[in-house]
Amino acid sequence: MSKIWDVAIVGSGPAGSTAAMTLAKAGFKTVLIEKDKLPRYKVCGGAIPQEFVEKMKIPNEIIERKFDSLILHHLGDEIYRKGEGACVWRSDLDKYMTDLAVNANATLLEGSKIIKATSKNQIFTLFTYNSKIQSRILIAADGVPSTILKSFGWKSFPQNDIAQTLTYEIKISEKNIDKRLGETSMHLYFGKKDICDIGYAWLFPKREVISVGWGCELSKIKNVREEFQNFLKIVKNVIHDGKTIKKAAHLVPVGFQNKFNDNGLVAVGDAAGFVDPLSGKGIAYAASSGVIAGKVIKKALEEENKQIISTEYEKELNSEFLKALKAKKKIQPDVYKSDDNIRRFLNLWKDNRSTIIAQKLWDLKDN
């Protein structure tokens, strides 16, 4: 009879690796399955907050650039916001985090794309092109769109809960990046008139490359290429002599799944929609959801009671970050209603955490 893992996790991004680390550390037979071979390029701005750097003990070698501020551009004006963090390549970050899981005794199956998943008699079966993997619990950490959730009939995100992004990685000398963008600033560009209807664009500098990105809610896009090219024109003084070394498109969820678990199937990270609907940040939430899923599953397996996942997973997510993300989702249409509203929000964000602003505006709306 083939081996039955306690937990199979599909996807070795920040959500999958933290879930694997938590469960393997607790002594469960844990397999982490990744379609690519690590390290692999993953399209992402790679900006992570300082708390995450410290919590995950991110080593200096993989930090491309530290930052201490965000420059918020809006229709030609600049607003300065303090904000500490680091910019990394996801190839390095994800390899580092996956190694933590492997060192904790998780088994990593790289280059193994799951094409379908089924369940019968409380056992999940995952199919690659040439093998089968079985487990008692299954974690969907495979981002968007999620093959795993689709296999079990979960709905894909509607157009107003998903953003389309485009990225160019543009190589420029470190000296020129420092001169043109400042050594320690990330740049975000907002504006319904010149950037996009609901979303924003960014220049996130690594050491010798600028990740030039643009993201807009899918339902609001008129012409992706044209809108992205307009942004490139706006920042041409920064990138004009750079060499484009990579072009990539990817989706980001800006809304949530209707449920986060179902009878031993647990969704984490982007697959569940755990991304800040205002900023598109998702790395830290993905990692946090992986840890929470790991802890709740540990309890369920120890007590041989899967019901624990249903009663505790969402509760834990809410108290850690999900309640705040829901508030942001609720105020997002108002923030992006007009350029005046965007400016008001940016002026508040300048001195306050977006979570606090969202919570206050949400409370005002409800009362």
Ligand X SMILES: Cc1cc2nc3c(=O)[nH]c(=O)nc-3n(C[C@H](O)[C@H](O)[C@H](O)COP(=O)(O)OP(=O)(O)OC[C@H]3O[C@@H](n4cnc5c(N)ncnc54)[C@H](O)[C@@H]3O)c2cc1C
Amino acid at 170: I
Sign of the dihedral through C-alpha 236, 237, 238, 242: positive
Q: Can you read off the two tokens belonging to residue 301?
A: 């397996």
Binders in 224-263 for ligand X, by CB under 6 A: 250, 252
Q: Can residue 199 be called a binding residue for ligand X (CB under 6 A)?
A: no
Amino acid at 24: A
Closest by Cα among 76, 68, 49 to 343: 76
Using CB under 6 A, which of 63, 275, 278, 301 touches ligand X? 275
DSSP-derived secondary structure letter, 248 = E
Q: Can residue 169 be called a binding residue for ligand X (CB under 6 A)?
A: no
d(CA 294, CA 68): 32
d(CA 101, CA 25): 8
| Residue range at the interface with ligand X (CB under 6 A); choices 1-9, 11-19, 314-322, 337-345 | 11-19
Q: Can residue 281 be called a binding residue for ligand X (CB under 6 A)?
A: yes
Q: In angstroms, what is the minimal distance from the CB of 34 to ligand X?
A: 5
Q: What is the CA radius of gyration of the chain?
A: 21
Q: Can residue 294 be called a binding residue for ligand X (CB under 6 A)?
A: no
Smaller CB separation from ligand X, 73 or 281: 281
In 3-state terms, what secondary structure has residue 112? Answer: coil
Q: In angstroms, what is the minimal distance from the CB of 127 to ligand X?
A: 10
Q: Can residue 216 be called a binding residue for ligand X (CB under 6 A)?
A: no
Q: Can residue 280 be called a binding residue for ligand X (CB under 6 A)?
A: yes
Site string for ligand X, 303-342 (x = CB under 6 A): ----------------------------------------
Q: Can residue 133 be called a binding residue for ligand X (CB under 6 A)?
A: no
Could you tell me if 197 and 217 are in contact, meaning their C-beta atoms sit under 8 angstroms apart? yes
Q: Can residue 14 be called a binding residue for ligand X (CB under 6 A)?
A: yes
Closest by Cα among 20, 22, 21, 24 to 10: 20
Q: Can residue 273 be called a binding residue for ligand X (CB under 6 A)?
A: no
Using CB under 6 A, which of 6, 142, 161, 217 touches ligand X? 142
Smaller CB separation from ligand X, 15 or 293: 15
Smaller CB separation from ligand X, 51 or 241: 51
Q: Can residue 109 be called a binding residue for ligand X (CB under 6 A)?
A: no
d(CA 310, CA 313): 6
Q: Can you read off the two tokens belonging to residue 300?
A: 């369920």
Residue given tokens 């647990």 in the structure block: 266
Instruction: Please calculate the CA angle 94-97-103 and round it to the nearest 5 degrees.
Output: 135
Contacts to ligand X by CB under 6 A: 10-16, 33-36, 42-48, 113-114, 141-143, 147, 165, 167, 204, 213, 250, 252, 269-270, 275, 280-284, 286
